[in-house]
Amino acid sequence: MDYALQNMDVGLVLLDSARRVLALNPAAVRLLGDRAAGLVGAYLHDLHPPSHRAKVELLMAAAGEPAAPASACSMMVALPGRVLVVKATALAPATAAGEGSAVTALMLMEAARPSSADAQIPSPQLPALQVPEPLVKLPVEKGQGIVLLDPADAVYLQADGHYTTVHTADGAFFCGLPLSELEARLDARSFVRTHRGYIVNLRHARAVERQDGRAAFVMAAPGAPRVPVSRNRAEALKKRLAL
């Protein structure tokens, strides 16, 4: 355990009194990957959809309260391929800090994975790997409530920060689940990851086009939206579609 803690990559994101990102350390850049680009100068709330900003507000309020339990100052963030634990803590009262000074720190840590040494030791007490529960309905927000969409009605899915926008023939809807979880829980026979930020429903794919050396799906929806195909996924998709 001590060895694991010594080797843990801990990211640090500093915020000013307006909750604007001032700086990130190299570990934060590694943990966030492509999402780290353009974060400096961005406001924390702008990185989250309006419907989830209340949760961020609770986290920040707890960070400034010395008596708040550790759990109230923490939240889990799902990213493709990893889950991060985010812990917030106040560095100084906002009234005492000068303009542009860091008053809040966000610590980022990857949720623990078994070490290679642990993986070599048989552990019959460990539960079997659980397969994600298939999604029968897609929970999306509409107005002040939640609508349960039939997955077959989803034309394509687009990453929106840590959340997802579900595009249908009737419009776009916010979904609070990350794209990586939707990929794991939707029917893989129909839903295919074409890009880091996109999943298409092949049942709504009308054509595949190439433009400037890049491929894209043309979807059967109003406006014939084009969904990009990344180069590292193109070959697998060609084989799947017998192209």
Place of tokens 């997802």: 164
Task: Give the count of beta carbons closer than 10 Å to the beta carbon of residue 97.
Answer: 16
| Structural contact between residues 165 and 173, judged by C-beta atoms closer than 8 angstroms | yes
Place of tokens 């923490």: 74
| Structural contact between residues 115 and 7, judged by C-beta atoms closer than 8 angstroms | no
pLDDT reported for residue 1? 47
Q: Is 207 exposed, middle or buried (0-12, 13-18, 19+ CB in 10 A)?
A: exposed
DSSP string for residues in 12-64: EEEE-TT-BEEEE-HHHHHHHGGGGTT-TT-BGGGGS-GGGHHHHHHHHHHHT
pLDDT reported for residue 34? 78
pLDDT reported for residue 4? 57
β-pair type (145-149, 191-195): unpaired
pTM of the model as a whole? 0.51
pLDDT reported for residue 59? 80
Coil, strand, or helix at residue 170?
coil
pLDDT reported for residue 171? 93
Listed as ranges, residues in the chain with pLDDT below 50 are 1, 94-95, 114, 118-119, 121, 123-129
Please, where are the H alpha helices in 110-206? 116-119, 179-185
